[in-house]
Structure 1
Amino acid sequence: MSNTLTLFVSSLDTRSERRFDRHLPIAQLKTKLELITGIPVANQRLAAYDADADAQPARVLDDDAQPLGFYGLRDFQVLKVEDTNPSVSFTGQLTDVSAVEKFELTEEQYAARQDSVLAYKQRHKVGRFAPKDAPDSPSAAAPVPPIPVGARCEIDSAEPGLHKRGTVRFVGRTHFGSAGGAWVGVEYDEPFGKNDGSVDGQRYFQCLDKYGVFVRPDRVTVGDFPVIDDVEMEDEEM
């Protein structure tokens, strides 16, 4: 068994994937979780769930003196951090957008923008702007996007708060995808992928199985994204 445990840390305002040492005492774990969730150590109640939708926890981490491994948790369980005194830490205010002034565009204002998805489709004759006899999908003639191979990136996820990060390993056209167009091959930091950099026996890049994925360019954000990992131990280890 690995000494490292991978968990989804969830609170009212945050959700992220983290790695922790199984030997870490719960008291020190709470100190780390305060940096992640903003909930003071004294106000934290910790419980592990097999899934977000579960009503009952699989384990309640209620002994600060015990190490994390004492509770027999498995990788990718959900560690929920409940705030027992939200009036002190203002839990929930970060996600309350009722008082935030909304940015809205009229249809005419949106149509006039040159940096929108609509403008991209118009320029490259994609979707409803494609010729009548062309498939309603990205054109094979569309240019390969200027995404540098080797760049760090983050991929849009359908699950709110879940960040899928990795490194760009391939940019170009592939043999798969009936409508053609460019794909971006990404090596994830974690096993969120679907392949090892090859599809149907044709290799585009090399990585471990389940770490590779191919996505459309509009789902890729390039930037200086660090690996989502355990919070630095700083002075807690000597």
Structure 2
Amino acid sequence: MASTTGNARLALGGLLLLGIADLGLINLKLAPEYAEEQAKQSHVPGARPEGTTSAKASAPRPPATPTPSVAVAPPPQPTPTPEPPNAAPEPTATTSALPVVSAVATTPPAPTAEPPPAPVVSTGKPAAVSDILFEIDSNLLTLSSKSTLDEVLKQLKANPSLRIHLRGHSDQLGSREHNLELSRKRAAAVENFFHANGIPHSRITTEAVGGMKPADPTNTPTAWARNRRVEIEWR
């Protein structure tokens, strides 16, 4: 009876082993343990040797009912994280080095009128002035003397501290009284020119000497022409 029960256990164990093997779930390490257990059962006293099992043991084994396979769910896949939109590249130092040129056309500034030059103020006395010459027995200013008078006028306006002294002369012809009066009129003619151009009387003095101080004492027409004059001295 004990041998029959042992055989039945062995048969049941074999069926279970086949079923588990069919499912692919048995650990291969259990196969040696099962073989060792089967060997122990074969040496139990009163047990039948191999090939002498009872009719119940030798009965045909029922077909193993296949155990339905258990579907193993795949591991959850990580949810893809949406990528952020492409950000614009940060500007580097080299991209901002170039200056930005404005496209707006600029109107050039209108030229401004330059102020008139200021008069040059002289601190010293100018150079000596040429004599103002006259025609015979006349006190009228000639055209040739105008350039000399204009230069003196410019110096007087540039330096308000300057003053002039006018000395009238005549040649040696004629009487002393006539030559003295003629030399006075010649000095007055030059003085009136400066008064007419803005020089006050306080800056001008006059003197009449007639023919007593000739520039050339010789009695020649050339000497007489040189003596009909007005001298201008800086004071």
TM over 0.5: no
- Relative to its length, the structure with more helix (as a share) is 2
- More relative contact order in 1 or in 2 (CA 8 Å, sep 6+)? 2
Shorter-chain TM-score tier: under 0.3
TM-score, normalised relative to structure 1: 0.18
Q: Which has the larger radius of gyration?
A: 2
- Relative to its length, the structure with more strand (as a share) is 1
TM-score, normalised relative to structure 2: 0.18
